[in-house]
Amino acid sequence: MLKILVASSKGGCGKSTIATNLAAHYAQGGKNTAIVDDDVQGSSYRWCQKRPSGVPGVLGVQGARRGWVNRLPPDTARVVVDTAAGKHADDLASLVDEVDAMVVPVLPSEFDLEATLAYLKEMHRLPRLKRGKLPVALVANRLKPWTNFSQEALQRIKDFPYFPLVAQLRDSQGYVVLTGLGKSIFDYGSEQVQSHQHDWQPLLRWLKKAEPAD
């Protein structure tokens, strides 16, 4: 079972979008997949409930209370944990000890860059992260690559300490529309959608390396 934590203290950076699209990708690949929604807003949990017939289902689990791993069906192959904004190192310490990889989305805005840098410094103090025992990926999200600011933001993220920039996801209204339908970009095969699917490949390859040995 590969367990992925999607986390950031900054609200609105795309945690639920990344969590739901990862889950849909794994479900489309034939993996029994669950989302553990640790956010009281319950966005990812409701997305699971909206999944229409014709696309693979994703199990929604509310809350990451103690022992949440043991409450998952035994044949679960992939778990994505979606966390709330405002949660800091002490709030996430127990989750950090349970998962196999962590993904941190970063938006190309001054507020987000400053907040994420402070967050990474705080998280790095957790023993497992400080010892390098948990792989952490930074994902630049909602990029507009044709703008100078996005390019400057990318360089700043690359210069962040502790953890690498692994993937760059371009901005698209399609994410918003599909999320509202309980779907993801991995539920479609059009040429336009496939170009955005390609953005995810570096992250998916990185996560594959984090899979625990059987």
What pTM did the predictor assign? 0.94
Give the chain's count of helices (H) and strands (E).
9, 7
Residue 82 lies in a domain: yes
Q: Does the pLDDT at position 202 exceed 80?
A: yes
The domain tally of the chain equals 1
Q: Does the pLDDT at position 177 exceed 80?
A: yes
CATH of the domain at 155: 3.40.50.300
CA distance 196 to 193: 5
pLDDT for the residue numbered 15: 94
Domain that holds residue 168: 2-203
Radius of gyration of the chain (CA): 16
Q: Does the pLDDT at position 154 exceed 70?
A: yes
Which residues have C-beta within 8 Å of that of residue 120, sequence separation ≥ 6?
Answer: 104, 160, 161, 162, 163
Q: Does the pLDDT at position 80 exceed 80?
A: yes
Q: Does the pLDDT at position 152 exceed 70?
A: yes
